[in-house]
Chains A and B, each alone.
Chain A
Amino acid sequence: MAVSIIIRVILYVLLAPVIGGLLEGLDRVISARMQGRQGPPIVQPFYDVYKLLNKQTIVVNSIQVLFIMAYLIFTVFTGALFFGGGDMLLVFFSLSMSEVMLVLAAYSVNGPYSAMGAQRELLQMMCYEPMMLLLAIGFYVAQGSFMVNDLIGATRPAVIALPGMFIGFAFVLIIKLRKSPFDLSTSHHAHQEMVKGLTTDISGRDMGLVELAEWYDTTLMMGIIGMFFVTANPVSYLFAILACAVVFFLITLVDNTHPRVKAMHMFGITWLVVLVCAGTNLLILNLIK
């Protein structure tokens, strides 16, 4: 048992950036095709990060580096907790801690764009935090455990009991992955009125580390999507991967077709969606039980 956990964690630490990087490359290619462009090669993100890591790093202050390191370490830790089979609630608590580190990195530089990005990022966290916690509770009510280890041994896929949660989670994933229309804090696209927002004052090696952390994060999010479909039956993993592909494609599609909304608009919509989809789901689940 302990050995298998260690193997899974090591596999995650090694493979997650590869998967995350490829997904980002894929995202770029799909986006380009949607816009009628050729697009970069799928491994372009790896070239980018390699270049970033080897560039001269320019920092605004010395504690910025500290927060970024903490962000990366805690993001990796969060993912390890999930793929190692840990407690779902703990995974989400640890996730929000790593996010706070990134926000603090942005706050510490005292720049107008970074500060604005940091506030927006916090608002985004406030939007998706309820959904994350509800998700863990939903799994607990439906499958009887908070532990990922127990959840993957389920007899039937969780999505049957948690369709509302699934929709809600896919929705907040747009925020989590910083895709339009909810890419308020920072964006990969060059259509920002606030430069690079959250990451404006991060450069060189530090920026590379942030990108790396985002890859880990993307992999974790896909893992959670997969959780809705995984059962004790190995075939279910195929469905899980398929579901990830569909959700990822849809998010890319939304990203390319929807302009950014205003912050409070996002807040209103998200809480409403979470309350209606996930809240109702939980309510019904409790009544059935």
Chain B
Amino acid sequence: MISVFQTSGFLILFPFVVALLVVLQKKDTRLRRVTVIGNGFLIMAAAVYTAVCTLMDGQEILFKPSSEAALSAAENTILVGEIFLLLVVTVLSIRYKKYYCILIGALGTCPILAMDFLGLMPEHETYLRLDPLAAVMYLIAGVVGPLICMYAVGYMSDYHHHHTDVQDRTNVFLALLFVFLGGMFGLITSDNLVWVFFFWEITSVCSFLLIGYTRSPEAVNNSFRALWMNLLGGVGFSAGILVLFWMDENHISSLSELNHVGIAGPVVMLSVTLFAFAALTKSAQFPFSRWLLGAMVAPTPSSALLHSATMVKIGVYMLIRLSPQFYGTFTGVMITVLGGFTFFAASLLAISQSDGKKVLAYSTISNLGLITACAGTGTTEGVWAAVMLMLFHAVSKSLLFQTVGDIENNMGSRDIEDMHGLVIKLPRLALIMMIGICGMFMAPFGMLVSKWAALKAFVDSQSVWLVLFLVFGSGSTLFYWAKWLGKICTVIHQSVNLEDETHGSELISMVPLTGLIVVMCFAFPLMSNTMVQPVLNTTFNKIVPNVIGGSDVIIMMIMVTMIFLVPLGSRFLSVGAKDKMTMSYVAGVNAGDDRHYIDSFGKSRSLYLANWYMEDYFGEKRLLMPCVGISAILVILMVLIVMGGVF
């Protein structure tokens, strides 16, 4: 029997080793592919093992590295690592003349470093922790994350085939993905706040490097935007640590102590607020959403990783950790309002986008807003919905990104307008995409079920404004997903099948994810019992009744079954097989392929059907800056008022 301590230690360190192995193999050889895919599966196995053991145990376990020597080695590594990260930021900022990033980076890291060198750091009690929430995060990062790394192997070779202007640094790219995973496992497992901060900064810098991969001016610009926003979050985080060290008499130095503090005084509340502020930047809530929108310039695997398994999930993970402290507080209310607002605003903005990746980005922001709002309520139902949403979102979103990436490699475009008739052009990818999209918004798939729980949570906690944000946001969510779905489902006559060049390594990732979406539909009562309930039990120290139960579950099962039976049944019974086929009606003579008609001069004219984007109403030009402005004011207000409670 291997202990979970060993596997979790392995999970933190091993991805860095893999990264090193990958970065040394510059050429796209079979060995590199095997390294990535094999080690990916190894990480996945270790993560699932750790998660299952922890969930079966159902307890919170605090532990530290096995020996004093290992502990001090870890402490020193983290110290050196922090300096290294700061150096990376400094060098790149100087090279690209973005000096403000150095300032922000130093502002976050230097106080922590100074304290460490001056020996002012209080003695730590705990360093690492495993509990059900960490286990759930292990599953998200450890299953979806490695799948994305494997997908990247095939994707990147296609990518460089199509983008000859970009220098091939695939080895660096793949290595960064693994570093990211290592950082992610470290962050989830760390309990000591300084350690959390270190891994927090790793992910910030990693995402910065990934976004800037192509080194085009746009990529550089966007990567620095991501960098400064995330470093600003880091500043908030380190400020939170300092407040706890110096101003609170309990000298809290770990997350678990923070959780067990009971009713928080104004000082603790200030640091909770600062951590929440950091979480808002990471999970790209308004006003910090623009970094995530810019992140799509990078190759798709990095987007998939940032959006689903890692980066943005860190923010909401942090909020869920803090959620018991939010209940009934001013900070909690502000976090819910910001989350609800982000959900609503981002879903409106998504309507106006025709770039597939951008719609996905807005949808991520919007869904994370919902999770943020749920965590902010600090109620058990809210946290239930938050964890569920996180799980479903990770799977659906990474699948959608991968599909869009593949479609782009196959058709040379990721614009939704060009996906017209995808079901004929690339049937396999279209089917995967349809399942992914349905997973995002339709009953009875997971996201909607969780949204339903969220709605109940908001009603029960009497947050009427939040309910309003949620119902109106749901309306626009339906609109932008359904019109995309419609575009894919369009059947064009006499259209040719494009050659589907999807790599084997990409299918290794996409097929299991598609399967997961379907399985998770059926398995969600099980997931609720075995994964989410333990989280609630340890977070709130009490047994929580099932949020959605009994007859509803049965009815939803019937619905899921029907969704899959209707297509099968109609094929089996060959419904409509004898119907006469014709062309669609174009108020004239259809020229025979649904894309041309004969005009009054007898000429054949082409016909093009576009979706509605309603730029004038929901466009970025009109909505984005006001949204950023409003939410920025809210964030500043939140921090100032909480500070006012202390000083």
A residues with a Cβ closer than 8 A to B are 56-67, 69-70, 73-74, 77, 81, 86-87, 89-90, 93-94, 96-97, 100, 103-104, 106-115, 118-119, 122-123, 125-127, 129-130, 133-134, 137, 140-141, 146, 195, 200-201, 204, 206, 264, 267, 271, 275, 279, 282-283, 286, 289
Contact = CB atoms under 8 A, between A and B. Distances in A.
A93 B566 CA distance: 18
4 nearest A-B residue pairs (beta carbon)? A111-B584, A107-B486, A65-B576, A93-B443
Contact of B476 (A58, A104, A118, A126): A126
A44 to B, nearest CB: 25
Given A90-B452, A129-B471, A206-B576, 20 more contacts: A58-B580, A66-B567, A69-B575, A89-B452, A97-B559, A104-B482, A104-B489, A110-B584, A110-B609, A111-B584, A112-B586, A114-B584, A119-B611, A119-B612, A129-B478, A137-B455, A195-B585, A201-B585, A204-B579, A279-B468
Nearest to A66: B570
Interface stretch (B98-106, B328-336, B521-529, B548-556): B548-556
A282 to B, nearest CB: 6
B486 A271 contact: no
Given A62-B576, A133-B455, A123 B479 contact: yes
B23 interface: no
Interface string B574-616: 0111011111111100000011000000000001010110100
A63 B580 contact: no
Given A65-B575, A123-B479, A113 B585 contact: yes
Query: Which of B487, B559, B585, B612 gathers the greatest number of chain A CB atoms within 10 Å?
Result: B585
Contacts of A113: 585-587
Contacts of B583: 60
B392 to A, nearest CB: 15
A286 B609 contact: no
Interface string B466-502: 0110111011101100110111011111000000000
A65 B579 contact: yes
Contacts of A141: 459
B84 interface: no
Contacts of A93: 443-444, 448, 452
A267 to B, nearest CB: 8
Query: Which of A56, A67, A108 gathers the greatest number of chain B CB atoms within 10 Å?
Result: A108
Contacts of A130: 471-472, 474-475
Contacts of B581: 58-61
Contact of B570 (A69, A114, A271): A69
A108 to B, nearest CB: 5
Contacts of B612: 119, 123
Nearest to B490: A110
A184 B167 CA distance: 51
B96 to A, nearest CB: 42
A56 B609 CA distance: 28
A203 B562 CA distance: 25
10 contacts: A59-B580, A59-B582, A61-B493, A62-B577, A67-B489, A69-B575, A90-B452, A119-B612, A130-B475, A264-B614
Nearest to B476: A126
B464 interface: yes
B346 to A, nearest CB: 15
Contacts of B462: 286, 289
B491 A109 contact: yes
Nearest to B481: A100
Contacts of B443: 90, 93-94, 96-97
B467 A137 contact: yes
Contacts of B562: 73-74, 77
A60 B551 CA distance: 40
Nearest to A113: B585
A183 B609 CA distance: 21
A65 B471 contact: no
Contacts of B246: none
Contact of A100 (B485, B586, B609): B485
Contacts of A107: 485-487, 489-490
Query: Which of B456, B464, B586 gathers the greatest number of chain A CB atoms within 10 Å?
Result: B464
Given A65-B576, A103-B486, A96 B444 contact: no
A69 B586 CA distance: 24
Nearest to B551: A86
A264 B352 CA distance: 14
B453 to A, nearest CB: 10
B485 A104 contact: yes
Contact of A60 (B479, B582, B614): B582
B579 A57 contact: yes
B146 interface: no
Contacts of A279: 464, 468
A282 B467 contact: yes
Contacts of A104: 482, 485-486, 489
Nearest to A86: B555
B582 A58 contact: yes
A100 B459 CA distance: 27
B572 to A, nearest CB: 12
B452 to A, nearest CB: 6
A266 to B, nearest CB: 12
A115 B468 CA distance: 30
Contact of B584 (A109, A118, A126): A109
Interface in B243-289: none
B442 interface: yes
Contacts of A77: 558-559, 562
Contacts of A125: 475, 478-479, 482
B552 A90 contact: yes
B14 to A, nearest CB: 43
Contact of A110 (B471, B491, B575): B491
A84 B575 CA distance: 29
A103 B482 contact: yes
Interface in B185-243: none
B582 A89 contact: no
B570 A282 contact: no
A200 B580 contact: no
A112 B575 CA distance: 26
Contacts of B452: 89-90, 93
Contact of B471 (A90, A112, A134, A146): A134
B376 interface: no
B489 to A, nearest CB: 5
B108 interface: no
B555 A59 contact: no
B315 interface: no
Contacts of B552: 86-87, 90
A100 B442 contact: yes
A103 B448 CA distance: 19
A103 B479 CA distance: 11
Contacts of B444: 93
Contact of B478 (A81, A90, A96, A114): A96
Contacts of A70: 566
B421 interface: yes
A130 B487 CA distance: 24
A110 B566 contact: no
A63 B614 CA distance: 29
Contact of A118 (B470, B486, B582): B486
